[in-house]
Amino acid sequence: MRAYTEATREIMRLVAESRHDEQPVFEAILQASAKLCRVNQCALFMVTEDPDTLILAASFGKTLQAFEVGVSTLSVDTPLTITQVYRENRT
């Protein structure tokens, strides 16, 4: 629980400092998530204006460095867990 509290505190500090730039906040969320979940990579995708496309908003980990934040996209029809979850839960 202590690690969760520390991660939350750091993210809230960044939110206060980065009111006009969400990128440091996204990166901190992913870094904390990876640490708490004991994984070496994770990514944050956001829905674009086209509801059938997700765009990479931030990533953490070496494997994902080949993708460009704000440029790399996924079709929601791509056979990945993230797109399946999105398809099943969009309203």
Residue 91 is predicted with a pLDDT of 59
Residue 39 is predicted with a pLDDT of 92
Longest dimension (CA), the chain: 40
pLDDT tens figures, 10-59: 878 878 887 788 888 888 889 888 988 999 999 999 999 999 999 999 99
Strands 73-75 and 53-60: antiparallel
Strands 73-75 and 42-47: unpaired
pLDDT tens figures, 62-79: 877 788 898 999 999 999
CA distances to 37, 58, 80 from 77, in Å: 27, 21, 8
pLDDT tens figures, 3-21: 778 878 887 887 888 778 8
- pTM, two decimal places: 0.75
Query: How many Cβ atoms sit within 10 Å of the Cβ of residue 68?
Result: 10
